[in-house]
Amino acid sequence: MKNKVQSPEDADMVIQGGVLVSMVDGEAPLPNATVLIKGDRIAGIHATEKREPLPQSIPVIDAGDGVILPGLINAHGHTAMTLFRGLADDVPLKEWLFEKIFPAEAKHLTAETVYWGALLGCVEMIASGTTTVSDGYFFQDATVRAFHKAGLRALIAQGVIDFQAPGVPDAKDNLKVGRDFIEQWLHFSNLITPGLFCHSLSTCSETTLREAMEISQHFSLPLQIHLSETKEEVQEVARRTGLKPGFYLDRLGLLNERLIGVHAVHVDDEEIALLARRNVKIVHAPESNMKLSSGAARVSSMIKAGLTLGIGTDGCASNNDLDLFLEMDTAAKLDKVFTLNPVNMDAQTVLKMATSWGARVLGLEKDIGTIEVGKKADIIVVDLNSPHLTPFYNPYSLLVYSASGPDVKDVIVNGKILMKDRMLCTLDPDLIMDRV
C-alpha cells in the first residue's frame, strides 16, 4: 500500500485506545488498539500495551475504553422524508402511500425542502454512527448537495415512477431525468455515487424497468427497487403477469448482481433460490415492515441460501428514526420471533449486515465495511461509559442488543472527522432543525 505507515508520527490522524472490532472475517477483536490514518485511508493498525504521548500536531481520537468499528451502512433510506416524520402513522401501507405520503410530497416537496430534510437526516445519521447511506428519492440534486456538505458517503438514486413525480411534471420524462442526474453527478466526488431507484413493480411498467436496468448497466451502477413488500403487491403482479415478482423480474432480465431488492418480505423458497442464483442483493428494513404491517422477511432463510443482505432504516415517515443500532436490535429479535429459533440472526451476523455485507450490497466492499489497512477511513467510536453498556462481555452482543445511536462519540468518513466527542463538525444541527 502506497500510504502505509508504521509510526503515529507519520500519520495524519490517530485513533487510540479501546477495542477494535474490524469486522474482517475470522479476525478477533483487538484490545488497546491504535489505528493510523493517512489521507483518506487506513494506513496502520496495531495494539499497544500503554498509550504513548503523540505530537500535538497530529489529530487524535481518544477511544478510551470504547469500541472502534467500521462506520455503519444504511443500505436503504429516503433521507429527506424526515420532513414527514409522524405525519401519517398507524395506517395500512397502501393508504399511507397513496392517500398520505404521495399527496404530501406533491404539495410540499421542492429542491429547497428536500435539501433541508436531507440535511436533517444527515445530522441524525452522523450522530448515530452511520457513515454510508443508500438513498432513493426525488429532487436528488438537492440531496447530493446536502450529503456533500455533511461529508457522508452515499449512493444517491433518482426516483423513477410511471406517473407525475416531484420535480418531474411529465411522467414520460422520469428516465430522462434519471439519466441526466447520473451524468451530472457521476464524477462529482469520490464520496457520492449516483444511480436510479425504481419505486416498485406496481408503479413501474416493463418498459420502465428494462430501460432503468439498461441505463444502470451502461454506467456500471446498481439499480434499486422495492420488491415484494406487501402481499397485495405480490398478488397484483401475479394477476397482471401470471408470475411471482422474482420470476417476473427474471423474465425482464433484471435479476443480476446490480439489482438491489429492498424489503423482500413476501418471497417464497423458489424465489429465494432464484435471487441467490442471480446474485441479487437484498436489503432488510424490519422496523418499517413492522410499522406498516407488511410482514417479517425470511432473513435467516435468505442468508442460508447464500444471498447477500444489508440492513436499512427506510424513511422517517415509516420508521420513524434513522438509528441503525436500533434497526440491528430489531432485525435480530424479529427473526427469532418469526422463526421461533433463538439461534437465528446472532449479533455478529446482524452487525455484518450493517457493515461488511452492507458494503457488498452497495458494491463498495473494496473500500469500506471493514477496518483494514488500505481501506477508506470510515470509522466510528462507541463510548461504553454508560450503565446500559456495563459490564462488557461480548462486543457484538453489546453493540447489537444494548447500544443505541447516542452512544456514538466519534465519526470519521474518508479520513475526515464529522463528529468528535458528540459535537458535529460539518453541520449546524440547531440551524437545520429550525429550517425544517
Contact yes or no for 138/97 (Cβ under 8 A): no
Nearest to 307 by CA among 270, 269, 277, 349: 277
* 395's grid cell: 462486543
The string of DSSP codes covering 213-259 is HHHHHHTT--EEEEES-SHHHHHHHHHHHSS-HHHHHHHTT--STTE
Could you report the per-residue pLDDT of 33-70, keeping only the tens digit for each?
Answer: 999 999 999 999 999 877 667 767 789 999 988 999 99
Q: Answer whether residue 357 shows pLDDT above 70.
A: yes
* Distance in angstroms (rounded) separating the CA atoms of residues 286 and 301: 15
Q: Cβ of 88: how many Cβ atoms within 10 Å?
A: 16
Q: What is the model's pLDDT at position 319?
A: 92
The string of DSSP codes covering 58-80 is S-EEEEEEEEEEEPEEEEEE-GG
Contact yes or no for 310/284 (Cβ under 8 A): yes
User: CA 422, 317, 353, 221 torsion: positive or negative?
Assistant: negative
Contact yes or no for 249/273 (Cβ under 8 A): no
Beta-carbon contacts of 419 under 8 Å, excluding residues fewer than 6 positions away, are 126, 127, 408, 409, 410, 411, 425
Q: Grid coordinates 459535537 are at which residue?
A: 423
- Average pLDDT, whole number, for the chain? 95
Could you report the per-residue pLDDT of 319-338, keeping only the tens digit for each?
Answer: 999 999 999 999 999 999 99
Q: 240 in helix, strand or coil?
A: helix
Nearest to 5 by CA among 378, 369, 373: 373
Q: What is the model's pLDDT at position 3?
A: 56
- Bridge partners for 193 per DSSP: 155
Is the link from the previous residue into 222 a cis peptide, with omega within 30 of 0? no
Q: What is the model's pLDDT at position 2?
A: 47
Contact yes or no for 183/158 (Cβ under 8 A): no
Lowest mean pLDDT, pick from 160-174, 257-271, 327-341, 358-372: 160-174
* Distance in angstroms (rounded) separating the CA atoms of residues 148 and 54: 31
Let me know if 170 is exposed, middle or buried by CB neighbors in 10 A (0-12, 13-18, 19+): exposed
Q: What is the model's pLDDT at position 56?
A: 76
Let me know if 35 is exposed, middle or buried by CB neighbors in 10 A (0-12, 13-18, 19+): buried
Q: Answer whether residue 112 shows pLDDT above 90.
A: yes
**Strands laid side by side in the 13-20 sheet:** 41-47, 33-38, 13-20, 60-70, 379-382, 408-413, 416-420, 423-424
Could you report the per-residue pLDDT of 301-323, keeping only the tens digit for each?
Answer: 999 999 999 999 999 999 999 99
Contact yes or no for 322/125 (Cβ under 8 A): yes
Question: What's the pTM?
Answer: 0.96
Name the DSSP class of 261.
Answer: E
* 380's grid cell: 466510528
Q: What is the model's pLDDT at position 97?
A: 83
* Distance in angstroms (rounded) separating the CA atoms of residues 298 and 282: 11
- Comparing 54 with 416, the larger pLDDT belongs to 416
Q: What is the model's pLDDT at position 367?
A: 98
Q: Answer whether residue 4 shows pLDDT above 60.
A: yes
Contact yes or no for 123/355 (Cβ under 8 A): no
Is the link from the previous residue into 320 a cis peptide, with omega within 30 of 0? yes
Q: Answer whether residue 190 shows pLDDT above 70.
A: yes
φ and ψ at residue 408, rounded to 5 degrees: -75, 130
Q: How many CA atoms lie within 13 A of 199 on its CB side?
A: 18
Could you report the per-residue pLDDT of 115-124, keeping only the tens digit for each?
Answer: 999 999 999 9
Could you report the per-residue pLDDT of 215-225, keeping only the tens digit for each?
Answer: 999 999 999 99
Percentage of residues in the chain having pLDDT higher than 70: 98
Q: Answer whether residue 1 shows pLDDT above 60.
A: no
Q: Cβ of 366: how many Cβ atoms within 10 Å?
A: 11
* 159's grid cell: 426516483
Q: How many degrees, rounded to 5, is the angle at CA 293 between CA 287 and CA 296?
A: 65
* 8's grid cell: 503515529
Q: What is the model's pLDDT at position 8?
A: 76
Could you report the per-residue pLDDT of 232-241, keeping only the tens digit for each?
Answer: 999 999 999 9
Contact yes or no for 35/71 (Cβ under 8 A): no
